[in-house]
Amino acid sequence: MKAGSNLEKVFESGKFAVTAEIGPPQSANPEPLTHHAKMMKGSADAFNLTDNQTAVVRLSSIASAVIIMREGIEPVIQMTCRDRNRIALQSDLFGAAALGIKNVLCLTGDHQIFGNEKPAKNVFDFDSIVELQVFDQLRREGRQVGGEVVKDPPRTYLGCAENPFATPYEYRVSRLAKKVAAGADFCQTQAIFDMVMFEKFMDEVRSRGLDKKIHILAGVIPMKSAGAARYMKNKVPGMIVPNEIVDRMKNAKDPKEEGIKLCIEQIEHLKTVKGVHGVHIMAVAWEEIVPKIVEMAGLLPRPTFQ
């Protein structure tokens, strides 16, 4: 065991893992986090707390993690390189570990142009792969990137993200391999709507033996409306939503029900893809639907460990 987190235990036990995303509030109010934690408790093995996603200022991911841990659920914190240089990244890793946070997802981070503080100066001292490499060295050798030896290094389970649908497509598996080489233990993918393309990606992942080296969580997004489908298809760079999915949402009598049905079908499909070790549910602004989806997808009860 690298960190002994619940998520790590689920993966190590060979069970199909479930994680879900919680977006921290755009305020200093911890209440929405507590609410979501209580509501989703038992529905997933760990809960992913975004780090100012799309560069919108939110309650910090580390503080959010501590708040949801009080409710007895396990966090995965995202840590982006957009707002931190190597001093802050390593310091926050120490801080998170000291607070009992065991899972860290390493991300480069969305550019500030997408957020609500556009004139910000970004950092990008590292990218996600360098971040993984530095964190991995820190936990394995207790040595900072600058060479300083650390007495009590953090024990952290390291994650990464990968998008099979970004260009150049033929390079995406190589990039995952780089993340494995840099020390990633698990990977959550961009939301998958194009199953054919994802299976092709996974074929190559398996042919390079990467599925044996990293636990892949396939990303899913339950949609509320045809508008959401169209938005993701047309406005989110690096996201592929096939026309038949947009049409299906458009023609549905009850788009919300259809969105749930579609998501469950996708999870059922993903369970059959070799090398996929779990799903990551990103119910953005629709967190309350997660327990229902997990239950209907036959993923309950979640395993528990001593």
* DSSP single-letter state for residue 214: S
Cα torsion 244, 246, 247, 252: sign:
positive
Nearer to other proteins, 89 or 281 (CB): 89
CA distances from 262 to 56, 258, 265 (A): 29, 6, 5
Asked whether position 284 contacts other proteins by CB under 8 A, the answer is no
Asked whether position 150 contacts other proteins by CB under 8 A, the answer is no
Asked whether position 202 contacts other proteins by CB under 8 A, the answer is no
Asked whether position 231 contacts other proteins by CB under 8 A, the answer is no
Residue of 48, 53, 190, 266 interacting with other proteins (CB under 8 A): 190
Exposure b/e, 117-136, CB count within 10 A at least 16 = b: eeeeeebeebebbbbbbbbb
CA 77-240-273 angle, 5° bins: 70
CA 287-69-222 angle, 5° bins: 15
Asked whether position 171 contacts other proteins by CB under 8 A, the answer is yes
Nearer to other proteins, 43 or 156 (CB): 156
**Cα separation of 231 and 253, whole Å?**
20
Shortest distance, position 236 Cβ to other proteins, whole Å: 9
Asked whether position 87 contacts other proteins by CB under 8 A, the answer is no
In terms of C-beta density within 10 A (0-12 exposed, 13-18 middle, 19 or more buried), how is residue 102 classed? buried
Residue of 14, 119, 168, 301 interacting with other proteins (CB under 8 A): 168
Options 14-22, 119-127, 210-218, 268-276: segment touching other proteins (CB under 8 A): 119-127
CA 155-287-225 angle, 5° bins: 135
Residue of 7, 65, 134, 226 interacting with other proteins (CB under 8 A): 134
Asked whether position 126 contacts other proteins by CB under 8 A, the answer is yes
Asked whether position 175 contacts other proteins by CB under 8 A, the answer is yes
**Cα separation of 173 and 183, whole Å?**
15
CA distances from 301 to 16, 103, 220, 263 (A): 11, 22, 20, 19
Asked whether position 57 contacts other proteins by CB under 8 A, the answer is no
Nearer to other proteins, 141 or 265 (CB): 141
Nearer to other proteins, 240 or 294 (CB): 240
List contacts with other proteins (CB under 8 A): 81-82, 86, 108-111, 113, 122, 124-130, 133-134, 145, 161-163, 166-168, 171, 174-175, 177-178, 181-182, 190, 237-239
